[in-house]
Amino acid sequence: MKPKFIIGIGIVIVAVIAVMGFAVAGNSSMEVQVNDVVAQRLQGVDLSQRVLKLTGVVVGDSIVYEPSSLHLEFDVVNSREDLVGSPAKTPRLRVVYQGVRPDTLVNEAHAIVTGKLSADGKFYAGQAQDSLMLQCPTKYQSAQTASR
């Protein structure tokens, strides 16, 4: 292949890498779990400046939704096992979201919330459309004992 084609392809690749670099710098969030956030907060680590992508399991009876103001709050814990054990002792985080309550927000649902941890200890979901996501349909698998 002639050098002019190699140079041309090189220019395209460098441009794409440069755009990617800028886009990553401006649009990335750190994936964390409830236990990580609670532990780091106890250690005095300031997480409030970073955009976080929090994954956790919804505590059904903590859900508070006001349709008039579209204000939604609920607790998340680290895993489903935490809901079965002793919920009082389990580390949990309060999530605050402004918007329509998703249909799939139910007890034990797996929530993925993108937002920031506030000084009041609550986790505020961002304004973007995907700032509160709940894992959908095909996730449900039976955990009961099976035999064949």
Partner 1 sequence: MITDLGYIALVISLLVCVYAIATSLLGARRNDERLVQSGRNAAKLVFPLVLVACIGLWYALITFDFGVIYVADVSSKATPLFYRITALWGSQGGSILFWNLLMSAFIFVAMLRNWSEDKDLLPYVTAVACLIAGFFIFINLSSANPFLRFDFPPADGRGLNPLLRHPGMIIHPPMLYAGYTSFIIPFAFLIASLAVGRRDNLWLIKSRRWTLVGWAFLASGLLLGGRWAHDVLGWGGYWGWDPSENMPFVSWLFATAFLHSAMIQEKRGMFKNWNVLLMAFTFVSIFFGTSFIRSGLLTSVHAFAKSNLGPLFLGFMVLILGGTILLWFSRLDTLHSENKLDSWFSREGIFLLQNVLFVSTAITIFLGTIFPTITEAINGVKITVGPPFYNQVAGPQLIILVLLMGVAPLLAWRKASARALGKMSLIPAVISLIAFVLILVGSGQVIPSLLLVLCLYTFVQTCLEYIRGVRARVNSAGESIPVALLHLVQRNQRRYGGYLIHIGIVLIAVGAIGKGFYGTDVLRNVKLNDSFTVGSYTFTYRGIASVPCEFNDCQSVEAALLTTSSRDGSIIGGVYPHRDQFPAQQETSTIADITGSFNEEVYVILAGWENNGTTASFQVYINPLINWIWTGGIVLILGFLLAFWQMEPSTAIRTVPIARMVGSPSK
Q: Which residues bind partner 1 (CB under 8 A)?
A: 1-2, 4-5, 8-9, 12-13, 16, 19-20, 22-24, 26-31, 53, 55, 65, 67-70, 99-101, 103-104, 106-107, 112, 114, 128-130, 133-142, 144-148
Nearer to partner 1, 49 or 144 (CB): 144
Nearer to partner 1, 13 or 118 (CB): 13
Nearer to partner 1, 77 or 89 (CB): 77
Minimum separation from the CB atom of position 55 to partner 1 (A): 6
Minimum separation from the CB atom of position 57 to partner 1 (A): 13
Residue 17: both structure tokens together: 């890498």
Residues 34, 58 contacting (CB under 8 angstroms): no
**H or E stretch at 27:** helix 3-27
Minimum separation from the CB atom of position 60 to partner 1 (A): 9
Minimum separation from the CB atom of position 17 to partner 1 (A): 9
Residues 51, 29 contacting (CB under 8 angstroms): yes
Q: How many CA atoms lie within 13 A of 111 on its CB side?
A: 34
Nearer to partner 1, 27 or 86 (CB): 27
Minimum separation from the CB atom of position 22 to partner 1 (A): 7
CB proximity list for 113: less than 8 A, separation 6 or greater: 53, 54, 55, 56, 76, 95, 97, 123, 125, 131, 132, 133
- The burial of 25, by beta-carbon neighbours within 10 Å (0-12 exposed, 13-18 middle, 19 or more buried), is given as exposed
Nearer to partner 1, 103 or 120 (CB): 103
